Structure 1
């Protein structure tokens, strides 16, 4: 039996059908990411699990218990928000102790839990500091520690890194994953960032317009998108209608086809390989994307996107003729 189960969850805001019959199972100890664009329903499902939103109909099961109508305080679920929501007039230690005191735990246990949580998030020496004296990353670690210290059945993270700069964000991604692995805590993470989902997750559930479009491991959802939306949202695929992919490859196709830009081989000379689809085109433009150059290539009136590492030997100029080749196994029917 799954540790968490959503059974036919529907949620309406007036006439707006936000969650449309969601059925989802999560196993104990997994790091699960709900991924998707703004307004797709992922945060609403998370808040429904926490009890911060009432579902219109359906059931939510946690550890064998129906918690659909339970009060948030009775669910034993920890939650970390995008906003740190720390008490500004309390020290780090006092912020962590607040919820424990409400539970009327013995002082010795409170101290022990706080010390352990502080160590886990690597904030030793900051116990007496106030939030205003901490960096954004340190404040987010305090918020994370506050969720951990309550020893919840599930830890929910609702886009907790979106307000943090890119370099620190990458560091915190790894820290959160390491903390999860150390504690074995069932964790559900909400983000709209596909790279973040790929780095952190055991399982990704891709949301679109109130439904789960695709579920799988990061490798599965990246390499084998099942719909046009999945292909466009994860991996920035080329998506070709059947007639266009037929024109490009010289073979017949009955469905749309998705091709990842990085799987397209580029050369300044014809490519000698009988096992690949070969074509030639002209570079229309190129854009730097970190350590990758994204080329837009005109192949007989069809735009093809191809990625290459940002190296001098592989840089093509706009207007230059280029030869392309694509392996058939990289053409994913959707």
Structure 2
């Protein structure tokens, strides 16, 4: 039996059907990400698990117990939001200790636990600081510490990093993963950022219009999309119709939803190649993206994205004629 089970979950807001018969199992100790665009239902499912929202129908099981009708305070679930919701008139250590004090824990236990989690989230030395004096990243660490200090059965993170700059975001991603592993938590993370999901997750559940479109580990999610939506949301695929694929390669395949080709699987080649599909095109433009150079290549009127590492032998000018090849197994029928 899974540690958390969502069974036939439906959620309505008036006439708006937000969650549509969602069935989802989560194993103990996993770091799971609910990924998808705004309005797809991922945050609503998280709030239903926490008890902040009531489901319209269905059942939620956690650790073998039906928690569908329990109050939030009785579920032993920690939650970290996008907005830190810290008490401005309390110091860092007072914010972290607040929940333990409400539970009337002994002061020596509170002091010990607060000290431990502050070290864990790298806030030692900020005990007496007030939230107004902290950076956004530090405030988010306080919010994380406040949740984990109560040793919840499950940690829920609802887009906690979306308001933080890119460099700090990467550091906090690492911190959250380390805390997750150290405490052996079952963590459920909500984001609309595919890169964040790929970096942090054991398992990704991709949501679309109130349903789970695909569930997989990050590698499977990226390399084997099951639908056009999955291919357009994960990665940066070229999506071609059957007719476009035939125009590019000169060969027909059957794929009613189209053919997905990752930009990095298209190769510039000289001379002969063993790949199933080989064709010529013209460089339209190029865009540097870190250590990757992304070309746009026109082939029989169709634009393809082609990603290569910066190397002198693959540096082309706009207007250059090029030869491209791709293997059949990298042409994913959707």
Identify the residue that residue 35 of structure 1 maps to in structure 2. Answer: 35
In 2, Cα distance between equivalents of 1:59 and 1:145: 30
Identify the residue that residue 293 of structure 1 maps to in structure 2. Answer: 293
Map 1:215-294 onto structure 2 (within 5 A).
Answer: 215-255=215-255, 256-267=258-269, 270-294=270-294
Question: How large is the Cα RMSD of the aligned pairs?
Answer: 1.2
How many Å apart are 1:312 and its aligned residue? 4.6
1:197-229 CA-to-partner distances (Å, cap 9, x unmatched) read 000000000011111000000000000000000
In 2, Cα distance between equivalents of 1:56 and 1:288: 48
More off after superposition, 278-287 vs 193-202: 278-287
Given the alignment of the two structures, is residue 201 of structure 1 paired with residue 221 of structure 2, yes or no?
no
More off after superposition, 317-326 vs 3-12: 317-326
In 1, Cα distance between equivalents of 2:196 and 2:164: 13
Map 1:114-263 onto structure 2 (within 5 A).
Answer: 114-255=114-255, 256-263=258-265
SS of structure 1 residue aligned to 2:78:
strand
Map 1:47-62 onto structure 2 (within 5 A).
Answer: 47-62=47-62
Structure 1 stretches of 4+ with a deviation exceeding 6 A read none
How many Å apart are 1:309 and its aligned residue? 2.0
State TM-score, norm by structure 1.
0.97
How many Å apart are 1:313 and its aligned residue? 4.0
How many Å apart are 1:243 and its aligned residue? 2.3
* 8 Å contact from structure 2 (residues 283, 320) kept in 1: yes
- How many residue pairs end up in the alignment? 332
How many Å apart are 1:48 and its aligned residue? 0.7
SS of structure 2 residue aligned to 1:225:
coil
CA distance 1:128–1:271, shift in 2 (3 Å) = farther
* Structure 2 gap ranges (5+): none
Identify the residue that residue 86 of structure 2 maps to in structure 1. Answer: 86
State TM-score, norm by structure 2.
0.97
* 8 Å contact from structure 2 (residues 275, 325) kept in 1: no
* Structure 1 gap ranges (5+): none
SS of structure 2 residue aligned to 1:61:
strand
1:175-216 CA-to-partner distances (Å, cap 9, x unmatched) read 111111111100000001111000000000001111100000
